[in-house]
Amino acid sequence: MIDPVRSMALKNPHGLALEGPETQWTYAELDGVVEERASRLSTLGAGPGVKVLLASELNIEAVEVVHSVFRTRSTLVPVNPRLLLGNEAFDQVNPEIVLVSKTLRKKYSPLLKNYNDRSDLAVDSDLLSVWVSKNLDEFKPDQLDGSANLPAALIFTSGTEGISKTIQISHEALEHSAYAIGSRLSLAATDRWYASLSLGHVGGLALVHRAAWNGATLLVDGEFSTERLVGMIEDREITHTSLVPTMLHDLIGTRGTKQVPSSLKVLIVGGAPTNESLLNEALSLGYPIVLTYGMTETCSQVTTATVELVKQKPGTAGAPIHGLEVKIDDEEIFVRGPTVASDVTDEEGWFATGDLGGIDESGHLWVRGRQRDIIITGGVNVDPLRVANEIREVAGVSDAVVVGLENERWGETVGALVVLESCESMSESAILEILSVKLSKSELPRTISFAERIPTSPNGKIDFATVQSLLRS
């Protein structure tokens, strides 16, 4: 394991590491704070094999905790503050130490009956409360196999069907990802990264690690909002950040046609498919879009298309980053390499992603959707992304999402939730009339409903379960 904060404190001690609304830390200063926090965590019992759950908004203190937990060689379990873990999920992780922000204490208190409050040992007890399992004394880290490859973090999957499992993220995966992405995007110590994603999202955790690995400045300013992102771009001169498509959509809607500052070098967009109309609009406005394909099981990015490539071939996710392999088997995307979690691969190291795609003659990946998203209606396969893209092309439509709805006769039927542009009014029949010349009969939605916006999960991805519920009602 390489400690990126300690490494940068030695290489560039006066380089700016962290910048908050009112606080700045150089790498030397951050190293000192991380060391103090790590020492207190060790006093509480942190160490190899110990799981430390962090439930906090993304702020300066949370970033310091991330690096401190890594320094103790404990396993970090970051939780999106918008997600309250249930007893089952909490027991599944069974953390030995729990760090909870002040605003979440009441929500988490029912889960902490078997924990002792040790906030007296917190660096800032007014911001973070510290709870230690009453069973921690029974934990014997000295009995661990010294060769055990203990995970750096456990990340809850962010599927649309709720929290289901955790994925192990190794130190080696974080390090390889930081190096490979840094190489693909020519990242440098002069970069200014806005921490836009929750630490409970693999992209958010990887971003924090990557910024320190490359000696860049990480700008942290609480929970993401579109207004905050606009301020970061226009007033604080960020150069890089990571977004999911919904965030990009809202950014464009807020800034309109205002010129994109030259200081903004990269908007990494991933986590969900970026529809063609949104991508074309972003490019026409001058946003420096980088498209990526990845997931929790691969420690974020698998393939990455640079700004130049996205302009040349809009829609491609690019070639695999250094050290990773991608293959297509029966239209499904398979991934192999050092960032892939070892417990999700087959005997040859391949991970079946469940995503559909193809690789062109230049070795660039094109993602078409998920196998399980394919709608089978009356024995005919329907691609929901294709249908949604055609709906978005209808004049007066701002956005749309298409899903399969269970049907006794057809197995599934096509349903569409549509968002109209402001001041627009349109009927279901009018949309179907336009679509009927572009789509087959099987592809035409049998159910269309309208909403003010597409429902999203706490991580900013489309909440398909809520979409289906709205369409059924």
Q: Where are the domains of the chain?
A: 4-169, 225-371, 374-472
- Across 45-78, b (16+ Cβ under 10 Å) vs e yields bbbebbbbbbbbbbbbbbbbbbbbbbbbbbbbbb
pTM higher than the cut 0.85: no
CATH for the stretch 4-169: 3.40.50.980
Radius of gyration (C-alpha) of the chain in whole angstroms: 23
Q: What is the pLDDT of residues 435-448, one digit of tens each?
A: 998 898 889 999 99
In the structure encoding, which two tokens stand for residue 346, read together? 């087959």
Per DSSP, the three-state class of 407 is: strand
CA angle 324, 1, 154 (to 5 degrees): 70
Q: What percent of the chain has pLDDT over 90?
A: 71
> Strands, E, within 82-190: which ranges?
97-101, 115-117, 128-133, 153-156, 166-169
Say which CATH class 374-472 falls into. Answer: alpha beta
| CA gap 389, 400 in Å, rounded | 8
Among 377, 387, 403, smallest CA distance to 439 is for 387
Q: Is 267 exposed, middle or buried (0-12, 13-18, 19+ CB in 10 A)?
A: buried
Q: What is the pLDDT of residues 233-252, one digit of tens each?
A: 999 999 999 998 889 989 99
Q: Are the beta carbons of 196 and 247 closer than 8 angstroms?
A: yes
pLDDT score of 379: 74
Site of tokens 């627009």: 424
Q: Is 407 exposed, middle or buried (0-12, 13-18, 19+ CB in 10 A)?
A: middle
The DSSP result for 423-447, as a single string, is: T----HHHHHHHHTTTS-TTTS-SE
For residue 39, give the H/E element and its range: helix 27-44
Name the stretches of the chain with pLDDT < 50. Answer: 146-147, 159-163
pLDDT score of 147: 46
Q: Mean pLDDT in the chain?
A: 91
Q: What is the pLDDT of residues 107-116, one digit of tens each?
A: 898 899 999 9
Q: Do domains 4-169 and 225-371 have the same CATH topology?
A: yes
pLDDT score of 125: 63
pLDDT score of 239: 98
Fold of 225-371: Rossmann fold (3.40.50)
pLDDT score of 237: 95
